[in-house]
Amino acid sequence: MTKAASVTPPLFENSAKEVLKRLEGDSSQEAEDMRVEARELISIFRGWMIDRPADPIKHDVVNRLFSLYRRAMNHLLKK
């Protein structure tokens, strides 16, 4: 049985897209790794619009997004 779609993915997806935009043009390996992670998270959040994950999975992925966002901002501040 499929669970109802989650209503919050656009907010999370937009945050991951912001990371992509902020890291645009940064050719460092660290930035590339973060862009890959952001794209993966975007894909996950889009899937949530169809099938909502269990709460523990949702919490883990959202924590991943917060961690990515912090790492990206710290990376950009070092430049």
Per-residue pLDDT tens for 17-64?
999 999 999 999 999 999 999 999 999 999 998 888 999 999 999 999
Distance CA 17, CA 46 (A): 12
- In this prediction, residue 1 carries a pLDDT of 42
Distance CA 41, CA 27 (A): 20
In the chain, domain spans? 9-78
CB 26 within 8 A of CB 71: no
